[in-house]
Amino acid sequence: MAWLKQVPRFFGHEAHVIRLLGEVAPGLAPELIAAGEHGRMLLAHAPGEDRYGAGPELCADIAAAFHPLQEHFAKNPALLSGVPDARLAPGPFERVAAPYLASVSGLGKLIEGLPERIAAIEECGLPDTLVHGDLHPGNVRTDDAGRLTIMDWGDCFFGHPGFDILRLTDDPAVIRAWCRRWRGGGADPERAIELLRPLAPLRSAVVYAGFLDNIEPSEFPYHAEDVPAALAAAASIVGE
């Protein structure tokens, strides 16, 4: 059994990433059988079921399985040529927030403090690496033997690994375990995560804005509120 998948132009790097993953961590992503033009991919069947709604135990397994891969690409970033570069910088956040500064309470405070916040995150010493971008249990399949396959790599980018753990879980124990894995060479992952929290929904706003720029006009009304909702969520974290 195989799956035929076609992704839009802005996910065109997905086949390249899945091919890379097959070389570095066979089995962690679906096997790429073939890739063609216009975002077409032929993927081997990934056994098991999607794990929407799974609890902290599976989230802990996902985080543990993904860490060696992120560590590998942190040490070999040149391998990620062709993957979207989303390293932390104020510009993308400022651009997506600009039309909403007057209407979203607290957003101006967050945007004004971005340079200092990003500098503080960088001082925490965690390396940029491959980020899945939408790492939640629904994008993971497990079979009867407990083997997991991480699906849907179209949202991946080169950037801060903390975005993935914040998308995966809010369970304190899972986050503490993630921090222990990154606590080397003087890094301060606990502080990085706290500083990164409002940037997670802020990045979602950037992603949604890019999505709106590329979808059919008939689809726009269904997603028009995604950007301001994400911006409001980001601003509310700073206001807490």
* Per-residue pLDDT reduced to its tens digit, 111-153: 999 999 999 999 999 999 999 999 999 999 998 888 999 999 9
Q: What percent of the chain has a predicted confidence (pLDDT) above 70?
A: 97
Backbone angles phi, psi at 44, to 5 degrees: -65, 150
pLDDT of 220 higher than 70: no
pLDDT band at 222 (very low <50, low <70, confident <90, very high): low
pLDDT at residue 240 in the model? 56
Q: What is the pTM of this model?
A: 0.92
pLDDT at residue 133 in the model? 95
Whole-number average pLDDT of the chain:
92
By the 8 A CB rule, do 212 and 227 touch?
A: yes
Closest by CA to 150, choosing from 166, 136, 171, is 136
